[in-house]
Amino acid sequence: DTGVSQDPRHKITKRGQNVTFRCDPISEHNRLYWYRQTLGQGPEFLTYFQNEAQLEKSRLLSDRFSAERPKGSFSTLEIQRTEQGDSAMYLCASSLQGEQPQHFGDGTRLSIL
């Protein structure tokens, strides 16, 4: 069990650029979740996958955000045309199934200049 892995750990980019983050879940976990956390707040749900199917998306996930999990293993989260308000920690978590504990990766901290 190597834990949830996220890459990169930090990303600094200019407003308007596109960014992509990667998450590798715990190997036997079929559920993968993305959350966003801003300073002083708890994480907010963005979307989740069961295997390769994206089953739920938050209203927070605007059209500029897209997530994929093409083979049911790793996932990517892309943000197009980044805005200042996208600056946050993006957290990935995985679990065996619903209602079970979710285990978080170290997160990707995004800073928009």
User: CA-to-CA distance for 9 and 105, rounded, in angstroms?
Assistant: 10
Taking every pair of Cα atoms in the chain, the longest distance, rounded to a whole number of angstroms, is 38
Name which of 17 and 100 has its Cβ closer to another protein.
Answer: 100
By CB under 8 A, is residue 40 in contact with another protein?
A: yes
By CB under 8 A, is residue 48 in contact with another protein?
A: yes
Query: Which of residues 23, 91, 110, 112 is near another protein by CB under 8 A?
Result: 91
Query: Residue 67 to residues 1, 22, 26, 63, 100: CA-CA distances in angstroms?
Result: 24, 10, 18, 11, 22
Which residues of the shown chain bind another protein in the complex (CB under 8 A)?
31, 33, 35, 40-45, 48, 55-56, 58, 89, 91, 93, 98-107
